[in-house]
Amino acid sequence: MHIIRKLTVGMLAALLGAAAVRAEVALEATANRQRIYIGESFILQVKISGADQPVEPDVSGIADAAVRLLDSREYSNFSFTIINGRMVREGFSGRVVSYEVTPRRAGVFRAGPVALEADGRRLEAAGPEVTVTDITPQDEVQLAVEASRETVLADEPFTVRLRLRIRALTGRFAEVDPLFPDNPPRLQAPFLDNNPIAGLRGPSMQDVLRRLLARHDNQPGVNINEYTLADDPFSFRGFFEAFGQPRRARFVLPRRMVEVDGQPYFEYQLELQYTPEEEGDYVFGPATFKGSIPVSVDDAGNASGRDIFAVGRAVTVRVVPPPEAGRPASFTGTLGTNLQAAASLDCLTCNAGDPVRLTLTVTGHLRFDRMLPPRLETQTNLLENFSVYDQTVQTFADSPTQRRFVYTIRPRRAGMLEVPPLELAYYDTAARAYAVRRTAPVPLDVRPGAEVTAEQIISATTAVNGIQPEVPDTELTPAPPWLTASGAGSVNLFGRPRLWIVVLAGPAGYILVLAVQQYFAWRRRTASVRRRRRVLTAARRRLRRLQRSGAAAGEPGAICDMIRAVLAARFEVNTAALTPKELGEMLPRIKLPAPDVKMLASIYQRHFDAAYGGAAAASGGIADADLRRDCRELERILAGRVS
């Protein structure tokens, strides 16, 4: 009793000490995107932990932006790992407040400060930085990324639509696609890559785009991302393309005519349907359009083109849990439609105190992977006559639309009892509201329990312990050894060639496998170096051709394409939409002398402006002498092997 008293006092002291030490209030602000275009929005998440009462942060310090509250909810997500024999808990528990922030100006935008008043003191977070890039206004091309829903629940489908509008030509060419068949523009969008998006069930982009491939070379269309065609190497086209760049795939999107502000446009659309499996914020976009389109046609049918760069702002689809408001206490975490529940017992009669198996069967079109076993301890009407053991529950997945939960309960008294209606709540995704289902009552005849005396327990135990099993002697007799008539003899194992083959085959095969692995590992390690050499060689060859032919034979933006190809091979990143500002951020990482870095940046800026309507284009483009000078400078820089 003295030991029990000391343990009890120690446990109470520990509990009181743990209650006295409160977790410090912490504030954290993060953004789901680091780079956006002007007019786009990003999600600002403010995490608050350690606060006794729900508190809302102060975001009035965020300037030059529109801020909209999205939601505020309790969130808890922990994981446990064992490190050196100690259990370590990692994760977050507290309140998460989400805002939609739309900056009003270009440049580096600070989403802060974010302040919080809690426990009589003020906390402040500086807030994340987001780079906002400006867009040159134009009305020839309109590009947009749209989503059918802004917020969805898990397993609730939604649609993402890429919409491209190009202003139609006038006169007798008004019904002709405003696209050059031999020079299609390029659409870039991350979600159009053939890579699955974690947490979403979506279509196979390879299957979607295969149905949109152009039927012939003269059919107007667009290039999408980095998709290319695999030609027959023995064909006339494939023979020459095998030694150059692969041919980009051309896609023909479904189109229709629309009118915007009194102007006719060709509208091209691509729709994709997704079904979320996990909660989170999913960003689609931004999408970019880059290329030349016809803007006028003379009487002889000759078209004049214009280089266009357009951006379709990204959209964010938020997959959220069911709302906290109106959530019943019997909510099990599942959502779906048409939940049905039934209860049953494994017997009709029993004695008071006997364990009884209670089976709860749940069916419906539900997310069972999110469903927790219903807690019978919260069913107060059941606790009146039964003892409940929630920790003994067993879960059985009978089918994709059915789960069984088997509990152990004990009746506390004798009489005609019944298991009362059990309540289960779920979130109905069709009605977008919580729904409650109750099982039918189950009768149970409980008899008084039989009393067992101490003498009966002792005699039964003695009888059991007094039983001695009888084992026949024949089962314990060892088997005699078996020998041939000639007896034992010696065998020379080393004089058998087959044995040597078997012995040496293993090491030889192991060495061969190691050699093959080392060869392929060497190929993987040197793949980027070999690819970089090929790109540098092709770039220098093209620079020499441009020096000989001048600007008349060069495509607009050829120099920019060449620089982007070299940088893509160096950094192994997608540089298809590289702007001069982004190039300036990337160049310090290149091991080049400072004058060469400055020269490379100025050449890229000059040719970028000439291709996309900057100052160089306004002055008539790039002269032959300037082009040849830039080619010589680039060839000198590339001769030093950009590394």
Q: State residue 440's pLDDT score.
A: 95
> What is the model's pLDDT at position 612?
62
Mean pLDDT of 64-70: 94
Is residue 425 very low, low, confident or very high in pLDDT (cuts 50, 70, 90)?
Answer: very high
Task: State the chain's mean pLDDT as an integer.
Answer: 81
Going by the DSSP 8-state scheme, the letter that residue 103 receives in this structure is E
Condensed to tens digits (0 to 9), the pLDDT of residues 99-118 reads 999 999 999 999 999 999 88
Residue 286 is predicted with a pLDDT of 95
Tell me the pLDDT band of 641, cut-offs 50, 70 and 90.
Answer: low
120-134, 399-413, 449-463: segment of lowest average pLDDT: 449-463
Encoded tokens for 263:
């102007």
Contact 422, 360 (CB under 8 A): yes
Asked if 351 and 384 count as a contact pair (C-beta separation under 8 A), the reply is: no
Average pLDDT over residues 196-203: 93
Q: Is residue 65 over pLDDT 90?
A: yes
- 365 CB contacts (<8 Å, ≥6 apart)? 336, 337, 338, 401
Least confident of 62-66, 427-431, 433-437: 427-431
Q: What is the pLDDT of residue 477?
A: 55
Taking a C-beta distance cutoff of 8 angstroms, is the pair 99, 69 a contact? yes
Q: How far apart are CA 279 and CA 231, in angstroms?
A: 42
Would you say residue 495 has pLDDT above 70?
no
Sorting pLDDT into bands at 50, 70 and 90, what band is 19?
A: very low
3-state class (DSSP) for residue 488: coil
Q: Is the pLDDT of residue 453 over 80?
A: no
Confidence (pLDDT) at 475: 52
Q: Cα torsion for 392, 398, 401, 404, to the nearest 10°?
A: -20
346 in helix, strand or coil?
coil
pLDDT score, position 222: 96
User: In the chain, what percentage of residues exceed pLDDT 70?
Assistant: 79
How far is the C-alpha of 312 from the C-alpha of 316, rounded, in Å?
A: 13
Residues 6 or more apart whose Cβ sits within 8 Å of residue 536 = 566, 569, 638, 641, 642
In the predicted structure, residue 587 carries a pLDDT above the cut 80: no
Residue with tokens 């008043």: 117
Predicted local confidence at residue 145, as pLDDT: 97
State the Cα–Cα distance between residues 25 and 52, nearest whole angstrom. 9
Q: Are 587 and 604 in contact (CB under 8 A)?
A: no
**Mean pLDDT, residues 380-404:** 90
pLDDT of 230 > 60? The answer is yes
Q: What one-character-per-residue DSSP string does 106-159 give?
A: SEEEE---EEEEETTEEEEE---EEEEE-----SSEEEEEEES-SEE-TT--EE
The CB-side HSE value for 17 (13 A sphere, CA atoms) comes to: 6
pLDDT tens for each residue of 496-519: 677 778 778 888 888 888 888 888
Query: pLDDT tens digit string along 277-305?
Result: 888 999 999 999 999 999 998 877 788 99
pLDDT of residue 258: 96
CA 135 from centre of chain: 28
Confidence of residue 493 (pLDDT cuts 50, 70, 90): low
CA pair distance 207, 194, nearest whole angstrom:
9
CA 373 to chain centre: 28
In this prediction, residue 490 carries a pLDDT of 59
**Does residue 565 surpass a pLDDT of 90?**
no
- Rounded to 5 degrees, φ, ψ at 566 are -65, -45
For residues 91 and 79, the answer to whether their CB atoms sit within 8 Å is yes
CA torsion through residues 15, 21, 25, 31, sign: negative
Residues 337-346, mean pLDDT to the nearest whole number: 94
**pLDDT computed for residue 114 by the predictor:** 95
The lowest-confidence range among 20-29, 200-209, 453-462 is 453-462
More confident residue, 555 or 584: 584
In the structure, how many helices (H) and strands (E) does the chain have?
11, 30
Say what the pLDDT of residue 18 is.
Answer: 41
Lowest mean pLDDT among 83-87, 299-303, 496-500, 589-593: 83-87
For residues 343 and 436, is the Cβ–Cβ distance under 8 A? no
The mean pLDDT value for 525-550 works out to 78
Q: Which of 2-11, 198-207, 259-268, 405-414 has the weakest average pLDDT?
A: 2-11
Which residue, among 120, 127, 130, has the nearest Cα to 59 in the 3D structure?
127
pLDDT (average), residues 332-338: 88
Q: How confident is the model at residue 457 (pLDDT cuts 50, 70, 90)?
A: very low
Confidence check: pLDDT of 321 > 70: yes
- Report the half-sphere exposure of 11 (CA within 13 A, side-chain side): 6
Strand residue runs (E) in 277-421: 280-284, 287-297, 303-312, 315-319, 331-345, 349-351, 356-366, 386-399, 402-411, 415-419
Unique residue bearing structure tokens 């059915």: 402
- Residue type at 338? N
Between 343 and 633, residue with greater pLDDT:
343
Residue 609 to residue 604: CA distance in whole angstroms? 9
pLDDT-above-90 percentage for the chain: 43
Q: What is the pLDDT of residue 571?
A: 67
Do β-strands 42-49 and 26-31 pair in parallel, antiparallel, or remain unpaired? Answer: antiparallel
- Asked if residue 160 lies in contact with residue 315, where contact means CB atoms within 8 angstroms, the answer is yes
**What mean pLDDT do residues 127-133 have?**
95
| Higher pLDDT, residue 329 or 200 | 200
Q: What is the pLDDT of residues 245-254, one digit of tens each?
A: 578 899 999 9
Asked whether residue 12 carries a pLDDT value surpassing 60, the answer given is: no
User: In Å, what is the CA distance from 366 to each residue of 103, 274, 564?
Assistant: 40, 18, 49
Question: Hey, what are 300's tokens?
Answer: 């002889």
pLDDT at 77: 61
Which of 307-316, 556-565, 607-616 is predicted with the least confidence, judged by mean pLDDT? 607-616
Q: How far is CA 278 from the centre of its chain?
A: 9
Is residue 54's pLDDT more than 80?
no
Lowest mean pLDDT among 31-45, 125-139, 271-285, 365-379: 365-379
Query: What is the three-class DSSP state of 24?
Result: coil
Question: Does residue 551 or residue 74 have the better pLDDT?
Answer: 74
Q: Are 434 and 427 in contact (CB under 8 A)?
A: yes
Given a cut of 80, is residue 396 above it in pLDDT?
yes
Write the CB contacts of 85 (distance below 8 Å, at least 6 apart in sequence).
none
> Is residue 486 over pLDDT 60?
no
Note the pLDDT tens digit of each residue in 259-274.
999 999 999 999 999 9
Mean pLDDT calculated for residue range 438-444: 95
Q: Is residue 52 predicted with pLDDT exceeding 50? A: yes
| Of the candidate ranges 24-33, 135-144, 172-181, 465-474, the one whose mean pLDDT is the lowest | 465-474
